[in-house]
Amino acid sequence: MSLLLGRRSLFPRRLNIPFFLRTFSSSRPTFSKLEGISETPQERQLPEHAVISTFDLFSIGVGPSSSHTVGPMRAGKIFITDLKELQLLKKVATVKINLYGSLAATGKGHHTPQAILLGLEGSDPETIIPTTIESRYNNILANKVLLLGGDHLIHYDMDRDMLWRWDQVLPTHPNGMRFSAFDEDGDLLATNEYYSVGGGFVVNDKTQVDENLFYKGVDKSVVPPARLHQTHSLTEPTLNSPSLEPSSSSRPSQHNDDTIPDAEAGPPHPFESGNSLLALTQRHNMTIAQIVYDNEKSFGYSDEDIHKKIFRIWSVMDECIQTGVTTNATTLPGRLGLRRRAPILYRRLMRGFYPGVMSPPSNNARIEADSNPSETFGGLIDAPKSRGEKFYQTKQGSSFETMGARIVDPAIPSAKRAPRVIGAFDHPLLPEPPRKTMIPAVDFLSCYAIAVNEVNASGGRIVTSPTNGAAGVIPAVLKYIIEFVSDDPDKSIMTFLLTASAIGMLFKRGSTISAAEGGCQAEVGVACSMAAGGFAACMVSSPETVLQAAEIGIEHNLGLTCDPIDGLVQVPCIERNSLGAVKAVTAAQLSLASHGVYSVTLDEAIEAMRLTASDMSVKYKETSLSGLATTVKIPLTVPAW
C-alpha cells in the first residue's frame, strides 16, 4: 500500500517518521532548494483513485484561507485531541508552535496564529462563531493564557512560543507546522508536524492514508473503510474497453435510502483521471453527477444525507453572497484599508434576490452623485436612480412583489446634466461620450464572487470550494444559474456541485489545490475549471462537453501566480474570483459551442498544471515575495477610498 496522499504532491516526501516524541532536526531545506523540483515518472504512477467525498472537498469553515486558516485550526485541534487520548493534556505546561515556509511568510495576513490557537483551545472551523475569533485571540494575547482543549489553562506568550521560520521549509510540504508540548520541568511530552496541503486538508506522515477523516476528527473506527483509503479498485475502465456499451443492467441498484453499498469494496465508480471518469459515464450511461452521487453512498451517506449536505453547502454559499452584498461594513480588515465593493455592485444592479432585505445605507456605498436611496420604499433594495425616475413597489402576490419596479415618471422633468466628455474636441479623432456599461451576466457574476470573497477576507463563514481564496467562483456561477438559467434550481444545485466536485477530485489527485505548491492556478484556476464543468453540466451537455469546459477553464489559468499584497487574501484575490467566475462561464459556453471539437484533454491540462507548478518560483507560491506583493507600496499609491 502506498503511503502517498491519493494525490501527486509536488514535493518530495519523507516517510516512516514516528508520530510522537520527535526531536528537532537542525538542517532544513531553504526556499531556493525547492525551486524546480519535479518528481520521477515512477513517483507519479500512483495506484490510488481520485475519489474522495464531496463533503470533504467542499467543507464549511471560516476565512480568509483554507490552507492558512482552516487547515491550521484543524491541526491545532488534532494535536490537542491526541494529547487527550494519550492522557498527556493535563501535564502540559507550555506549547511551542513553529511555522514554516508559506505559513510563516503569509500567516499573519491569513490569520494563521488565530486559527492555530483557537484550534488548540478545541475550536473547529465549521462550528466556531466567526465573530468571536478576534476577541478570543485578543484575550489570549493580552492575558497570556491558553485554554487547551477548552479545559486546561496554560501560560502562553506569543513572542516566546510562536516562531516564524519563513526561510525554512519542512520536506513534505511548504505549509508545515510543528507543535511541541512540554511539561513543567521543560521536558518534551510530545511533538508532531502537520502539513496544510490546500482546501483545508491536513496531513502528517501518520495520517497520509486517511487524510479525509483525520483532519475532521472523525472517529475512524466507525466509518466505512472507503472513506479511509483511496487504494481500492485499481483497475478502471478505459475508453478502449470492449465493455463500454451503455447498459442499464450494469447500473448498481443503489438508489434507495436503505441500500448502502459494500463499504469494504470502496466507491462503486472509482476514477483516477478525466479519461476514466468519462469511460464510467459511458459504461453506465450516467452523468458525472450521478457517478459522484453513487460514490458518496460508499462513504456511508444515504440519499437523504446527500441531499441535506448538498443543500447545506449551498445555503452557506448563498448566505455568504447575501452577507457580502448587504453588509454595513465599509472596509476590509488589514492595513490596506480596502473598500468593500459588493454592496456597491449590488446596488448598481438595481435588483435584489433577498426578499425584505434592505441594502446598506447609501453613505456607505454611494454610486452616483445624484442617487438618493432613502426615497425608495421600505424593504426594497435602494437602487440608484436618476432624475425623472421613481421606484414603485409592485402589488403583493405578483412574481416581483419584493422587488422595486423602476418606472419613468413623465410628471417629473428629467434634468439630465450634459455628460462629461474627457478629451480634446479640436482633434480629428473626437473622444467617445460616456456610455452605460452594464453587461448583466458579467456584472452579476462579479458581484456574487466579490461578495463571497469580501466575506472571506473579513474572516466570515465560508465554504471552502475548493479553497478559501477561490471561494467566490463556484457560488457565483451557481447563483447565476439559479437566478437566470435553471427552471429546476434544486436539481441544478445537485448537478452543479457534484459535477464540480468530480473535477476538483481530479485536480487534487493529478496536480494540487494548494497555492503554496502551485500558485493561484491551483486555487482560482481549479475553481474556474470546476465551475465551468458544473455550468456545462447544468446545460444538459454530455460528460465529454463537461470535461472539455473544465479543460478550457484551467487551460487559460495555467501559470497564474500567487502574490497577495501584505499577505492578505484581498488583492489580487477578490477581483480574481470575479474574473474566474466570468471565465468559467465563457469556458462552458465555448465548450457547448464546440460540438466535441477540441485539441487538449482535461488530463493533459491537469498534467501541464502540475509541471507548471513544479517549475514556478517559490516567490509566487503564497509567500508574498514577489509580483504585486512587492511592486505595490503600502499605503496604497491608489487610495482604497
Nearer residue to ligand SF4 within complex by CB, 63 or 572: 572
* Grid cell for residue 104: 510563516
Instruction: Give the nearest distance from C-beta 442 to ligand SF4 in angstroms.
Output: 20
With binding defined as CB under 6 A, does residue 209 bind ligand SF4? no
Query: How would you classify the pairing of strands 162-165 and 94-100?
Result: parallel
Of 137-145, 370-378, 386-394, 561-569, the window that binds ligand SF4 (rule: CB under 6 A) is 561-569
Q: Which of residues 290-349 bind ligand SF4 (CB under 6 A)?
A: none
| 580 sits near ligand SF4 (criterion: CB under 6 A) | no
CB of 116 to ligand SF4, least distance (A): 18
C-alpha grid cell, residue 125: 472551523
Buried b (16+ CB within 10 A) or exposed e, 55-76: bbbbbbbbbbbbbbbbbbbbbb
**In the complex, least distance from residue 581 CB atom to ligand SF4, rounded to whole angstroms:** 13
Give the nearest distance from C-beta 562 to ligand SF4 in angstroms.
3
Q: Does 573 bind ligand SF4 (CB under 6 A)?
A: yes
Over the window 444 to 483, marking each residue x when it contacts ligand SF4 by CB under 6 A and - when it does not, the resulting string is -------------------------xx-------------
As a whole number of angstroms, the distance between CA 43 and CA 59 comes to: 29
- The sign of the torsion formed by the CA atoms of 411, 417, 418, 419 equals negative
Q: Which is nearer to ligand SF4, 191 or 577 (CB)?
A: 577
Interacting residues with ligand SF4 between 621 and 640 (CB under 6 A): 622
State phi, psi for 178 to the nearest 5 degrees.
-125, 125
Nearer to ligand SF4, 274 or 580 (CB): 580
Nearer to ligand SF4, 384 or 580 (CB): 580
* Residues 476-515: x where in contact with ligand SF4 by CB under 6 A, - otherwise, as a string: ---------------------------------------x
Is position 579 an interface residue for ligand SF4 (rule: CB under 6 A)?
no
Q: How far is the CB of 35 from ligand SF4 (least distance, A)?
A: 18
Residue 280 sits at φ, ψ, to 5 deg, of -65, -40
Question: Comparing C-alpha atoms, which of 531, 511, 517 is closest to residue 471?
Answer: 531
Reference 562, options 514, 510, 631; nearest CA is: 514
State the nearest-atom distance from the C-beta of 204 to ligand SF4, in Å.
23
Q: Is residue 198 a contact point for ligand SF4 (CB under 6 A)?
A: no
SS3 sequence, 80-144?
HHHHHHCCCHHHCCEEEEEEEHHHHHHCCCCCHHHHHHHHHCCCCCCCCCHHHHHHHHHHHHHHC
Question: How many residues in the shown chain lie near ligand SF4 by CB under 6 A?
Answer: 13
Residue 450, classed as helix, strand or coil, is helix
Q: Is 516 exposed, middle or buried (0-12, 13-18, 19+ CB in 10 A)?
A: buried
Site string for ligand SF4, 124-163 (x = CB under 6 A): ----------------------------------------
Interacting residues with ligand SF4 between 20 and 59 (CB under 6 A): none
3-state helix, strand, coil in the chain (%, to 5): 45, 10, 45
Instruction: Give the CA count within 13 Å in the CB-facing half-sphere of 241.
Output: 18
Q: In angstroms, what is the minimal distance from the CB of 441 to ligand SF4?
A: 22
- Looking at beta carbons only, is 268 or 572 nearer to ligand SF4? 572
CB of 325 to ligand SF4, least distance (A): 20
Residues 518-547 close enough to bind ligand SF4 by CB under 6 A: 520, 523-524
Quick one: CA torsion of 440, 441, 442, 443, rounded to 10 degrees?
Answer: 40
Shortest distance, CB of residue 573 to ligand SF4, whole angstroms?
3
Q: 475 or 572: whose CB is closer to ligand SF4? A: 572
Q: Within 586-605, which residues bind ligand SF4 (CB under 6 A)?
A: none
- Give the cell for residue 95: 506549547
How far from the centroid of its chain's Cα atoms is residue 62's Cα? 11
Only one of the segments 50-58, 129-137, 150-158, 571-579 lies at the binding site for ligand SF4 (rule: CB under 6 A); that segment is: 571-579
Stretch that binds ligand SF4, among 3-11, 85-93, 283-291, 566-574 (CB under 6 A): 566-574
For ligand SF4, the nearest residue by Cβ is 469
C-alpha cell at 163: 516562531
- The phi, psi pair for 383, rounded to 5°, reads -70, 155
Q: Which residue in 266, 310, 260 sits closest to 289, CA to CA? A: 310
∠ CA 461-463-464, nearest 5°, is: 120
Least distance between ligand SF4 and beta carbon 470 (Å): 6
Least distance to ligand SF4 from the beta carbon of 166, Å? 16
**Cβ within 8 Å of residue 375, ≥6 positions away:** 385, 391
Taking the complex as a whole, how short is the minimal distance between the CB of residue 141 and ligand SF4, in angstroms? 25
Contacts to ligand SF4 by CB under 6 A:
469-470, 515, 520, 523-524, 562, 564, 569, 572-573, 576, 622
